[in-house]
Structure 1
Amino acid sequence: MLYFQVMILTAALMLVYYCEFTDVFSPTLQGFVCRDPALSKPDPGPEQDSRVQPVILCSVVCGLPVVLISGVELVIFLLHSSSNSLYDHEKMVLMGDCCYVNPMVRRTSCFLGVYVFGLFTTDIFVNAGQLVTGSLSPYFLSVCQPNYTALGCQDTVRFVSQSDACTGNPDDITRARKTFPCKEAAVSVYVAVYLAMYVMSCAGSRGGLLPGPLLSLSLVSLATLTGINRVAEYRNYWSDVIAGQLIGAAVAVFLVVFVVHHFRMRHGILAVSPSDAGTANTDEASAQMNPSMEASNNCVKAQDPSQKSHDYDGLGAHMHPFSNTPESDGRIPSSTSHPALQNPGNKTFTDSGLPDPNQCTSLDDLILVTHKSLHGVAANPLTATEQAKTQLLRSAQKDSFPEEVKAL
Structure 2
Amino acid sequence: MAFQRYGRVQFVKLPLQASLRCKIDSAMRDNRDTVDSRYLFFRTLIDVILVIALLISIALFEFVLVLPAQRGFFCSDDTLYYPVRPDVVSAKTLVSIVLLIAMSILFVVELKIHRSQSRSQRNPSRFSSKVPSFISDFLEHFMFFLFGLLLTVNATEVGKFTIGRLRPHFMDLCQPQMLDGSTCKSPENHLRYVEQYMCTAEGFTVFDLISVRGSFPSIHSSVAFYALVYMSIYVQHKMTWKGSKLFRHVLQFILISLAWFLALLGLKTYTHHWSDVVCGSLLGVVIAVLTARYVTGDFGTHRVGSRTDFHGRDTSASLNECGAEVAVKHLNEENIN
Superposition TM-score tier, normalisation by shorter sequence: 0.7 to 0.9
**Are residues 1:150 and 2:181 paired?**
yes
**Between Structure 1 and Structure 2, how many residues are aligned?**
275
Q: How far does the alpha carbon of each residue in 1:238-281 deviate from its partner, in whole angstroms, 9 at most, with x for none?
A: 1101111111111111111112224115139xx969xx62869x
- What is the CA deviation profile of residues 215-237 of structure 1, one whole-angstrom value per residue up to 9, with x for unaligned ones? 11101101101112211221101
* Candidates 107, 121, 136, aligned match of 1:86: 121
Cα distance in structure 1, aligned partners of 2:127 and 2:311: 15
Match of 2:52 in 1: 10
Unaligned runs of 5+ in 2: 1-42, 313-317, 333-337
Q: Deviations over 1:358-393 (max 9, x none)?
A: 96xxxxxxxxx9xxxxxxxxxxxxxxxxxxxxxxxx
Once the two structures are TM-superposed, the CA of residue 151 in structure 1 deviates from its matched residue by 3.8
Corresponding residue for 1:161?
195
> For the residues of structure 1 that align with 2:283 and 2:152, how far apart are their CA atoms?
7
* Letter matched to residue 258 of structure 2: L
1:122 and 2:152 matched? yes
Give 1:52's aligned residue. Answer: 89
For 2:51 and 2:261, locate their aligned partners in 1 and report how far apart those are by CA, in whole Å.
30
Q: Which amino acid aligns with 1:150?
A: G
Q: Report whether the alignment pairs 1:209 with 2:245.
A: yes
**Corresponding letter in the other structure for 1:32:** F
SS of the residue aligned with 1:29? coil
Give the whole-Å Cα distance in 2 for the aligned partners of 1:139 and 1:121.
28
Question: Alpha-carbon deviation of 1:124?
Answer: 0.4
Find the aligned partners of 1:236 and 1:16 in 2 and give their Cα distance. 21
- Classify 1:351/1:59 alpha carbon distance in 2 versus 1 (closer, same or farther; 3 Å): closer
What residue ranges of structure 1 are gaps of 5+ in the alignment? 281-348, 360-368, 370-408
Residue equivalent to 2:224: 188
Which residue does 1:69 correspond to in 2? Answer: 106
Residue 282 of structure 2 is aligned to residue 246 of structure 1: yes
CA change 1:92–1:267 in 2 (3 A) is: farther
Q: Tell me if 1:230 matches 2:266.
A: yes
2:162 to 132, 142, 160: 132
Q: In 2, Cα distance between the equivalents of 1:180 and 1:204?
A: 39
Question: Residues 29-50 of structure 1: CA distance to partner in whole angstroms, max 9, x if unpaired?
Answer: 0001124211111111xxxx33
**Which of residues 192, 204, 211 in structure 2 aligns to 1:175?**
211
Q: Which has the higher helix share?
A: 2
Contact 2:74–2:194 (Cα < 8 Å) also in 1: yes
Task: Tell me: CA distance 1:152–1:230, structure 2 relative to 1, closer, same or farther (3 Å).
Answer: closer
The structural deviation recorded for 1:117 is 1.0
Give how far 1:109 is off: 0.8
Q: Secondary structure at the match of 1:78?
A: helix
- Counterpart of 1:259 in 2: which secondary structure? helix
Task: Name the amino acid aligned to 2:246.
Answer: L
Residue identity matched to 1:231: L
Query: Cα distance 1:193–1:7, how it changes in 2: closer, same or farther (>3 A)?
Result: same
Give the direction of change, closer, same or farther, for the CA distance of 1:261–1:11 in structure 2 (3 Å limit).
Answer: same
Q: Which amino acid counterpart does residue 16 of structure 1 have in structure 2?
A: I
1: CA distance, partners of 2:60 / 2:327 = 59
Q: Distance in 2 between matches of 1:115 and 1:356?
A: 48
The one-letter code of the counterpart of 2:146 is: V
The answer to whether residue 291 in structure 2 is matched with residue 255 in structure 1 is yes
Give the aligned residue type for 2:166: L
User: Counterparts of 1:206 and 1:254 in 2: how far apart (Å)?
Assistant: 30
Q: Is the 8 A contact 1:197 1:262 kept in 2?
A: no
Evaluate the alpha carbon distance shift between residue 36 and residue 42 of structure 1 in structure 2; reply closer, same or farther with a 3 A threshold. Answer: same
Counterpart residue identity of residue 63, structure 1: L
> Per chain length, whose mean CA-contact separation is higher, i.e. which structure has more relative contact order (CA < 8 Å, sep 6+)?
2
What is the Cα deviation at residue 54 of structure 1?
Answer: 4.5
SS in 2 for 1:147: strand
Aligned pairs (5 A) from 1:282-321 = none
Residue 357 (structure 1) shift: 11
Provide closer, same or farther for how the CA distance between residues 357 and 74 of structure 1 changes in structure 2, counting only shifts above 3 A: farther
The structural deviation recorded for 1:166 is 2.4
Shift of 1:59: 3.1
Query: What's the TM-score once normalised by structure 2's chain length?
Result: 0.74
Pick one of 319, 325, 328 that aligns with 1:355.
325
Query: What amino acid is the match of 2:97?
Result: V
Aligned-pair identity in percent equals 25
Residue 277 of structure 1 corresponds to 309
User: Closer, same or farther in 2 for the Cα pair 1:357/1:110, shift >3 Å?
Assistant: farther
Q: For 1:179 and 1:358, how far apart are their aligned partners in 2? A: 74
CA contact (8 A) 1:94 1:272 kept: no
Q: TM-score, normalised by structure 1?
A: 0.61
Distance 1:159 1:66, change over 3 A: same
